[in-house]
Amino acid sequence: LFMEEPKETLWRYMPFAQLVRMLQTQKLWVSHVSSFEDKLEGTLDFTHWKINPDVRKDAIENLISAFSNTYVSCWHSASSESLAMWRLYGGQGFSVAVQTEWMRLARTIEGVLDYKTDSIGIIGAVNYVNPFDGSPVEKTKPNPLVIPMGVRNLSAPYYFQYLMRKSSAFAYEKEFRAVFDLKGQEGRGVEVPFKPEYLITCVYVSPEADDWMIETVKELVHQQFGLTHIDVRRSDISPHFRGHNA
């Protein structure tokens, strides 16, 4: 059972082509820890610990080694759309935002873990901290929820917790993530199977999209892939780009 039930609406902003691939393959991209832009990802806490430099170096190397099989599914957590996210991860008029709920993401990830090796993961909101002393820059959120897998009394690996803390420089991301181990994989990431009809609750089309783009996305989702229950709509912030007649 999950220990808490945060009311989180999750978003993933992406180019339209990425949505097409997701629906065609029914695969969800998850990133390996080593692929992150932030080179302090997962080791931030060690930067401000007052310990012998050699001890710190060994600890970081051991932690990086522990992350060898660790993957992360990253989402934006917010009650409404973010223009900044559209700009960063969308790409003007040819972009969409997939919306889901945290429990749907949790169950999706739970479905790809390997029960035979007693895999488990955690899911929750990232906490943003001062990179110089580790102090929180805002009210600390609840600890990530443990997703029990395989043997139900297993605890999540200690090193997962380090991936739920990031520098305050990234606070604009408002990230909600699932962290889990997948053995036998290589590369910067991997595509894992998912059920679009379960995970996706709504598809928003870019606030700068023309009418034909809205219709194209609707035809793709509703007719080509038969996902008629998924709402496809124009971005709620489109009036800022199209005026009151949007």
pLDDT digits (tens, 9 = 90+) for 161-193: 889 888 888 999 999 999 988 877 778 899 999
Task: Give dist(CA 176, CA 78) in Å, integer.
Answer: 10
Tell me the pLDDT band of 53, cut-offs 50, 70 and 90: confident
Interval 60-74 mean pLDDT: 87
Is the per-residue pLDDT at 20 higher than 90?
Answer: yes
User: Whole-model pTM?
Assistant: 0.87
95-101 and 121-125 strand pairing: unpaired
- Residues of the chain with pLDDT > 90: what percent? 42
pLDDT at 157: 77
